[in-house]
Structures are given as structure tokens and as C-alpha cells.
Structure 1
Amino acid sequence: MLPRVIAVAVAVLLALAGAGCATVDAGLPAQARPLVTTAAASPPATGAPAPGAPAPAGGAAGCDDPQASLRPPPVPPAPGAMPAGTFLATIQHRGYLRAAVLADVPPFGSINAFTGQFEGFDVDLANRIGRAIFGADGHVRFRATTYAERIPVLQRGDVDIVVATMTTNCERRRQIDFSTVYWYETQRVLVPLDSPARGLDDLGGQPVCTAAGTTTVDTLRRAPSHPLVRTVPNIADCLVLLQSGQVAGITTTSAVLAGMAAQDPRVHLVGPGLSNEPDAIGVARGHPELTRFVNGVLADVLRDGTWAALVRHWLPALRPPPAVPVPRYTDGG
């Protein structure tokens, strides 16, 4: 029962985060408290506008390389000295950077059951960006988000950045801006050890679980084997459904599935990679100086050994360790 208890504990922590539990947001103003993680309906297509909504301006048209982003400034502003009149100065004046992260996806973003604090690979990246703006730790206010809410929270202005294993693609670039890629991932499948399935091809006509609002939903719907798509707001809920026999498998990125397998020795990853998922940081449109600044921080993280150290800390089981991503830029400025 222990693996199920772990998954349920994650769900309880998510509920506390959404309710503004003091261990997560003690002393924070209302706008900095965790987002309510409510169930969301599956979108018609990942990153696409709702039916009848006008298409966002710019973006996907002419999107030659969805992995390329704005080049960092030649000389970045010093911590605590953001340029006057910029959105970076607004963040500095506010006193904290607002970052949306996942709360149920270790090792990228989760809530520590003992401390009540957010932690993970993505959380550490957000903290590094906050340190570059303010020159000290403790200036990032985290909000829990679901996969489906990652783009809406930026569009509403609830947060400044989203660091939540978000795949960059042309469709999503119609709605928000993205940093350079900081993580390359592959989508795979998780099934019980006693399942005869050896990949998605063997799960035709059977329910397969994934999180709503992700590119994995599209991959499932296109699968020649025609599995039954079951979506949930939080990927941790998929593990509970698998353990109770309500779904035949789970699909998401391999690192997340490996985290689930570490919780429950009765499940394992099967099959080849289904798709490549380049993850980047989401930034609200209209703030190119913030996107450039974030890219500068990422360039430092990739170059100075921080990225490799984060991989060793949060994903020690990855063998061989992944290659450091190489930033790609859209402009020369």
C-alpha cells in the first residue's frame, strides 16, 4: 500500500497548495499564493485557442524553429539594478518574481511532504533566475499550476514565468513566448509489471492516462493503436488510477515516469520513445527583455556546470547523463 499512500499524499499536498496552506504561502500577499489546482477539461488541441476564440496575434505563422528564442543581452544588468522602465524593473520594485511550477511531478516540481516547500529541477531554475534579478535568494514566489493552466496563468498575468516541463512548439508560441530549451525529453509508457504490453502499440482500445493540456494528449490521439485517452488535471492522479486498475498505462515524459517507477516497484517503463519533447520556460508575450534576461541566465546555467549539477542531484539514475542543451537564437541582437 505504500506506493498508493505516496501518490495520495501528493494529491493532499496539491489540495493544500490550492487552498493556500500556510506551509506553502505563509505571509504572502493574495496574488502570490498558490493557484487553485481544479480539474480542467481537455483542450481540443494542445496549446490551441478555445473554439470560437480569435487566434492570438503573431507567433506560429513563420515559426521556423520553435526551439529558438531571443538572444541574451551582450551585457546583462547587474543583480538589483534592472533597467528603468522595463518589466524587469517592475519585478524588482515588486520585490519578488512570480513563478508557476508543478506540484506533483518529481523530480521537476513537487511539494516536500516534510517542509511544505516547492522543490525540484524546475524550482531550482526559477530560484536561479530570481537570484539574478535580486542578487539574493528568497525573492521567488511560487504558485502551483496544472499542465492545462500553464499558458492561461501567463495570459492572465498571474505569474511572470512558467517553469513546468513545458514543451515549446509553434502552436504554443502563438500565445506565449518561450526561452531557449533547457531540457530534452522523450515520451514513453508506464505499465504494471504483470502487463503483457510492451509499448503503446499493445494498448489499443484500453484506457491510457496522461495529464490534460499536454502534448502527450495529441500523441495518444494520433496513435495507430487507438488507445482510449483518459486525462486528469495532475499527472500524479494517473499513478493512483493505474494502481487501482482503472487504466492500463500512463504516458508522459520518461523522467517523470521514472519518478513514478521509483515510488512503485510494481510498474515499469516499456516501449520506444513516442515523441521528442524540448522543454523551455514560458514567458508572457510583450516582455522581450524578460525573455532575453531568462535566456542569459539559462546560458550561464548551461555553461558554468550548474545544469549538470542539477541533473546529478535530481535525476541521478539517468545513465548515461543527458547532453547539455545548446541554446539556439532567432536574432543577432
Structure 2
Amino acid sequence: MSDPDVMTAFTSGLADINLDESSTPRTGARAAGMKSASASIYDMAATLSGRGDLWNWGMDDPTLVAEIQALLPGFTEFGTDGFSEQLYYLALRDLPIGLDDYAGRVVLEVGCGMGEGLNFLSRIAHGARMTGLDLSPRAVARATATLSRGEDLRFVRGDAEELPIEDGSVDILVNIESSHTYPDLERFLREAERVLRPGGILTHIDVFTRQRFRTMRRITEEIHGLKWIADHDISAEVRAAVRRRMAPDSHFRRVLDRQRMNPLVRRIAAHSQILMFGGMFAGYQPPTSIRVLSKLGIVPWMSGLPMESYRHQVAVRT
């Protein structure tokens, strides 16, 4: 498939998965097509992304910033705005395990992308053995080449619905802004149940449509091996991060300004990135120039799904 065909397959697949009123899992050719498109999209992203880029919408909470600064002074001063890191920090912060109690524990991130988020976690949860898994071979190859550190931090290619991980071998399973792309959410959660040790923890962060959240609720009631101990709506903090990224003087805008492109191309690039990283969720309204180009069919007007909430959910393996 060409790049436009891949993007069309990916976006239509996302809509199919997240807007389904029946919460029917996608299997067979439909699931395979969505996974193939997803892998291709993130292969392209891995090729185009810069060093240190994290693929999530992020969150903005001054309390979290202060806590991370205490652990990693100046963490926002070199090539990052810190919003995505806050989301990763939250994934471990609110668990019934202290950050000073990770020595020897096995941490698995499912949907690790280029590995930058897991690399960040390795700097605050010392002594853990961390593995990142992703469907994109290009993302895994890049993570392995640039970030891997033996058994302390390694990366493997794999499917979230068929984890190549032994039963009961994981202490902490991290899943951030990834499961809304999975054709069969129940299968992933049952895989999480399988690979976690008794007492192991699933820390799950994602954005939800009304339909997908209802599916999640139904599944969690049916999987008795996972006891859900927390469900926090962090939509306000996520929207705050997206809005700050959209601001004229933001790190995101400064990075774009350093690239050699004419002003119109830069505005189109900014528009596309904002749509990709939560713009609609945060109430983004395109500038006049983009509105004109949209009427001419040159750029998309608004795209995305009617996401209603962004949540952090925690389960313990019984």
C-alpha cells in the first residue's frame, strides 16, 4: 500500500475499533489489516522522529514536574518539554510500589515505540530489568540501536495480543496510549493477566471514546485474575499539556521554527502534528490559512475520534 492508503487503513481501523457500539473484538483479516497499517505508520514515525521524541499526548501537572525535577534536575532543559515524561512518571508514581523498590523487578512496556519512555523510566526506577515491546520493527530496531543496555533495558518486536513472554514472569506491565489501537482489547488484557506474577501490577493509561470505555468496563468485570484498584480521569491534565504544546512560544513550535521550510509548509506541519497529538481533545481551532487550504481540499480540516476521557487505570494480578 502507498502511504496515503496506509493512513486511510489506519484511521478507518481506529474508527472501527473505537466507535463500535457492540464492543465486538476484531479478528482475522480485519485485525491483521489494522495491525499491518499500525506497524507501517509507526515505522514511518520511527524514521522521521528526532532523538528523545516520545509518542504520547503528555500531561501537565506542576506537582509531577517538581517531583521529577527532584529526581532528575533539569530534565526539561535538553530537547524536551517534559509533558510526555510526566505521563510515564505517573505510570509508576501511583502504584503500591515505591520508586526505590524496583531492584530486580521485571518491567515490561507493551507499545514502547522508540523506547524513549521506557528509557526515562529506567532513570527513575533503578535496578529494574526493563523490556520494551512494540509491533513496529523499525521502532524496535531504532530503540535497540540507540538505547538498549543488555538485560537492564532491551527491546523486542511483538504483538500486544500475543505477547512472546513467559507466564507469570513480569512484575510491572506498563501500557501507555497504545491499547486504543488494539483490535481485540480483551485479548490484550488476558495476555497481561497471563504474563503478570501473582501480585504483579498492570498500569494502563489511554484515551477513550464513550464506546471504548464501555468495552473496557465490560472486559474488566469478566477477567477475574485482575483486580482493578484505581481509575483516575486525567483528562484536564492531558488537555493542559496539549494546549501548552500548541502555544506560540512552546518547545514544539520552536523545534518547527528551526526546520528549513517556508511559513505555509510550517503551518501545515504544525496543524498535522497538533491533530495527531490531541488537538481535538483540547479544543484546537485551526488558523485561517489552514481553513482556506481545507476548503480547497489541500489539508485535512479536522480529523480524529470523539475522545471523551483520558484515564490512568491500575490492576493487580490476583
TM-score range (shorter-chain normalised) is 0.3 to 0.5
RCO comparison, higher one (Cα < 8 Å, 6+): 1
TM-score by length of 1: 0.34
Identify the structure with the greater strand proportion.
1
TM-score scaled to structure 2, two decimals?
Answer: 0.36
Larger proportion of helix: 2
